[in-house]
Amino acid sequence: MNKIEVMAPAGSFDSLAAAIRAGADSVYFGVGSLNMRSRATVNFSIDDLPKIIRLCRKAGVKTYLTLNIIVYDDELTFVRNTCDAAKAAGVDAVIAADMAVIKYADKIGLPVHVSVQANVSNIESVRFYAQFADVMVLARELTLAQINKIITTIDQENICGPSGDKVRVEIFAHGALCVSVSGKCYMSLGAYNSSANRGACFQNCRRRYRVIDEETGEELVIDNKYVMSPKDICTIEFLDRLLESGVSILKLEGRGRSADYVQTVTKVYREACNAWQRHDYTPDKIDFWLEELKTVFNRGFWRGGYYLGEPLGDWCGFGGSRAKLHKIHLGRVNKYFSKLGVAELSIEAADLKTGQLLLVNGPTTGALKFQASEIRLAGKKVETAPKGSIVSVPVPEKVRKNDQLYMLVERRFGEEAEGEEL
C-alpha cells in the first residue's frame, strides 16, 4: 500500500518549519502576488525559493508552488519568470488552473498539478489535463462515489501524466470552505473590485447580513445571520472511507493560519493516515484527533461535507474562530541551554504560573507546545513569575533566541478566539 501524501500549507518560515516537524510529506506555498492568497501577508518572495527548497529537501519534503489564479496579458512575463525561478530552484511542481501557466510550465519541464480552481469534476477533464499534469486536484463538490469512479477509471485505462506515471488524485481534506463552487466566487469583485479568483478576496461571505423587504420595509427573520459562511470541512471522522476511494494526496487548507495551526492539523492527519494504513484507525483515536483539531482555528466543523452527499447548509453561525484555545503573547526566548534542556525566557506581557500551557513560535522552531512544569527565577524555584522577569523553564525540544512565547488559554463558552487570522 502506497503512503498517503499529507500536504501542508506554508505561509511563513514558522509555518514551514511547523509543517516539516509535524510530518508533512509536502508543502504548498506562494511567492509574490499571483496566487490565491495574494492579499494576505502569507507569501514568500522569489528570493526565498532556494532556502525553502534547501530546508524541504533536507527533510525529504516535496515543494509545490501555487500559481493558481486567473492571469492577465500584462502578467505573463512575471508568470514565466516565476516558473523559470521555480524550476531553477528545484520546486517539485507548480499548482495551476490557468492554461497560460500550465502550458508554459509544461514547456520548460516544470511539473504541473491542476488546481481545484480548474473544477475537475469528471473523467473527460482528467483525460484532457493528463497531457500536462501528473496530479489532479478534484473539485470540492464531488461525493466519495464520484471520486472513486474517477480513480477507478484512471486505473482501468492507465491514464498517465507527462512523467509516464499514473495520474494521482488530490482532494481537500481539512479547512475553510468557500460558499461558491470550488472557491470560484465573484462577491468580492462585485463589491470591492477585488477578485477572489486572483487571491484578493475580502471575504464578504464571512459577515452577518440582514434581509429587508424593500416594498414594506420589514426585516425578514434569519435565525443565522452568517448565511454564506460555511463551517470548515473536517474529514477525520471518515478518513478511512476517503482513503479507500483511492485518493493519493490530502490537502490541508491554511496558508493564512499560524504555525501552531499548521503543526496541529498536519500532525493529526499524518497520524490518522498512518493509523489507517496500520489498520489501527479506531473510534478512540478519532475522538482524540477531533479534540486536537478543535484547539486551533476553526469555524466549527462540517463533518461529512459534499463527500458524504450532504448539501452545503452547515453554516458556522458566528464570526471568527471557535478554537478551544487561544493565544496570548507572553514574551520571547532569550537563550537555550542544550545540556540542561532549559530555555531562558523574557516574561513581558503577563505573569507566568507553573503548569501554564505555553507555545513557542519561530522560523526554525516552528510551533512547540509544552507546559511550564517548573519555573526558576534568580535561581530559585517559584510558582509564579511576574511580568518583567527573566526566568528559566524546562523545554522538551530546542528553541531559539527571539522565538516568540505565548500562553495558550482555554476559551470561555461563547467567546470567539483571539490571536488568529480570519
Domain boundaries, the chain: 5-176+231-308, 325-410
Q: Is the pLDDT of residue 33 over 90?
A: no
Find the mean pLDDT for residues 88-107. Answer: 97
Question: Measured at the alpha carbon of residue 91, what is the angle toward residues 90 and 96, in degrees to the nearest 5?
Answer: 145
CB 357 within 8 A of CB 369: yes
Range with the poorest average pLDDT among 279-293, 301-315, 331-345: 301-315
- State residue 378's pLDDT score: 92
The pTM for the full model equals: 0.86
325-410 falls under which CATH superfamily?
Translation factors (2.40.30.10)
* Strands 168-175 and 249-252, bridge-based pairing: parallel
Nearest one of 335, 334, 344, 349 to 386, comparing CA atoms: 349
pLDDT band at 314 (very low <50, low <70, confident <90, very high): low
pLDDT band at 218 (very low <50, low <70, confident <90, very high): confident
pLDDT band at 171 (very low <50, low <70, confident <90, very high): very high
pLDDT band at 398 (very low <50, low <70, confident <90, very high): very high
Most confident residue range from 37-41, 204-208, 275-279: 275-279
pLDDT band at 212 (very low <50, low <70, confident <90, very high): confident
Tens digit of each residue's pLDDT (9 = 90 or more) over 344-382: 999 999 999 999 999 999 999 999 999 999 999 999 999
pLDDT band at 160 (very low <50, low <70, confident <90, very high): very high
Amino acid at the residue 317: G
CB atoms within 10 A of CB 77: 9
CB 263 within 8 A of CB 21: yes
Tens digit of each residue's pLDDT (9 = 90 or more) over 98-130: 999 999 999 999 999 999 989 999 999 999 999
Q: Is the pLDDT of residue 27 over 90?
A: yes
Distances (CA, A) of 315 to 265, 298, 306: 21, 13, 14
Find the mean pLDDT for residues 48-75. Answer: 95
Arithmetic mean of pLDDT over the chain: 88
313 vs 349, residue with greater confidence: 349
According to CATH, the topology of domain 5-176+231-308 is TIM Barrel (3.20.20)
75 vs 208, residue with greater confidence: 75
Q: 7: which strand partners?
A: 26, 251
- State residue 416's pLDDT score: 46
Find the mean pLDDT for residues 260-289. Answer: 97
Find the mean pLDDT for residues 137-152. Answer: 94
Tens digit of each residue's pLDDT (9 = 90 or more) over 229-271: 778 899 999 999 999 999 999 999 998 899 999 999 999 999 9
